[in-house]
Structure 1
Amino acid sequence: MVMGMASILCSLNGHHHAACWLVLIGYLLDLADGAVARQLNACSALGAKLDDFADFTTFGIATSLLLRTNELMDNILCMCYALSVFVRLCFFSSGIPFMYRGLPCIYSSAILSSASLLSGGNMAVLRIIAVAMILFMISQNFYPHDRVLESQAWKKVVYAGGIAMLFCSSFAPACLYYLLWSVSYILFPTSLWSSKV
């Protein structure tokens, strides 16, 4: 939630590059918070609600502000993106263990943030990606919930690579790393990311 609020402040003050990287840091933290809570035996109903609030702050509001301009249509797209994250968080349960309905918003945010950094904030590119991510999030497709830090060793290596990339945040390959990681979740959800804990 702190990363999301910091990203919102950066967006409002015109620090686009920092806003994108704060969303990506939030992406890493969101993948880790459940594993940490389970290790500390600190899981609770309150924690689950706080996680949803943090997700909406970072992957809804903060990410949608990356689309904000002075144009009316961009601001409508900004609102639609935030609303689609809200809908996705409210109705994500599929009733099937380890499966979600609709693309988890952390991946759509990582794709949008990475694309924004790689394209230099090109709004034509971001509009197309945002519309695609909205459609993926509100779709009825099934996506796996794999606990990356409690799964196969190679997934932990991918996560560690994401942390290492934070120290290369001024380089395009770092953004490309996050983009490929997130896109792989959309393209190969069952073959790569569906292993149960």
Structure 2
Amino acid sequence: MWMVSPPVGVFQSTKKLFLSERVGQGRTLEFIRKNAANGLSMANLVAGLSSILCSINRQYHHSCWLLLVGFLLDLADGAVARQLNACSALGAKLDDFADFTTFGLATALLLQPQGVLDGLLAIAYVMAVFARLCFFSSGIPFTYRGLPCPYASSLLAGTFLLTGGNVTLLRVAAIVMILFMVDRGFYPHDKVLESQLWKKLVYAGGVVAVLFSPMAVASVYCLAWSTSYIIFPFAVWSCKA
């Protein structure tokens, strides 16, 4: 019985289709590699904008939760960029813009400015975050100048949730955070996801607390985390600790 062999053109078309699919998959994977960290920064930005909308609608508990989510996203985007070798000038600018929105504008609205003095405090907090982002580099490897604004925001969000929205206490805490941010003292670049195992476990615990635990647990966890970094930066959070 004679077998009819397929035309040569069929093999060539199949080969071209297979190769084009592989090229398409390779381009997709490369796009994901280059933009994974940018996606996290965009998510941080969206969290900050959503927090602003919640504060405008006086849904401050939701606003605080979104700030804690932004805190976790901000710690992850740099680690992802370095692990995937996808650091870029665009990514750095996007990260700064997201940080200013989430940890500056959105966090300042928790202060609920209603009068002139309250408004000045909110403006001072935003400007402190702006100055902190401008003087990000210390010239010393693995070291920041000034308290990183995500930790200040996490502390304020946790304070708000634990005190049931005590605005007076929150404003006092905001003044202290402003002083820490503009003081330009040294703080370690903790690199939680690229450091010791216990720091990775702290981060994983934060994810579980914020996403799957009651709000009180999440606020206590993030407040304790941020406070330990603010008070014992090098004793606990240095790369050598």
Shorter-chain TM-score above 0.5 = yes
Aligned-residue offset at 1:127: 1.0
Is 1:41 aligned to residue 85 of structure 2? yes
Letter in 2 for 1:92: F
Q: TM-score, normalised by structure 2?
A: 0.79
SS in 2 for 1:181: helix
SS in 2 for 1:107: helix
CA contact (8 A) 2:67 2:107 kept: yes
Q: Deviations over 1:10-54 (max 9, x none)?
A: 101111000001000000000000111122221101101111000
Q: Which runs of 5+ in 1 are unaligned?
A: none
Structure of larger gyration radius: 2
Q: Aligned residue for 1:103?
A: 147
> 1 CA distance for matches of 2:64 and 2:184?
28
> 1 CA distance for matches of 2:117 and 2:161?
22
SS in 2 for 1:69: coil
> 1 CA distance for matches of 2:190 and 2:229?
10
Identity of aligned residues (%): 63
Letter in 2 for 1:165: A
Is 1:64 aligned to residue 88 of structure 2? no
Q: TM-score, normalised by structure 1?
A: 0.96
Q: Aligned residue for 2:133?
A: 89
> 2 CA distance for matches of 1:112 and 1:147?
22
Aligned-residue offset at 1:140: 2.5
Is 1:174 aligned to residue 225 of structure 2? no
> 2 CA distance for matches of 1:77 and 1:22?
22
Number of matched pairs: 195
Aligned-residue offset at 1:70: 2.0
* Cα RMSD after superposing both structures: 1.0
Moved more, 58-67 or 71-80: 71-80
Aligned-residue offset at 1:169: 3.5
Q: Which runs of 5+ in 2 are unaligned?
A: 1-44
Letter in 2 for 1:78: A
Q: Aligned residue for 1:185?
A: 229
SS in 2 for 1:121: coil
> 1 CA distance for matches of 2:214 and 2:55?
17
> 2 CA distance for matches of 1:111 and 1:25?
13
SS in 1 for 2:187: strand
* Higher RCO, 1 vs 2 (CA within 8 Å, ≥6 residues apart): 1
Q: Match for 1:116 among 160, 163, 170?
A: 160
Aligned-residue offset at 1:68: 1.9
Q: Match for 1:53 among 85, 92, 97?
A: 97
Q: Aligned residue for 2:173?
A: 129
CA contact (8 A) 1:21 1:169 kept: no
Where do 4+ consecutive residues of structure 1 move more than 3 Å?
none
Q: Deviations over 1:63-98 (max 9, x none)?
A: 001012322221211111011000000012111000
> 2 CA distance for matches of 1:162 and 1:77?
29
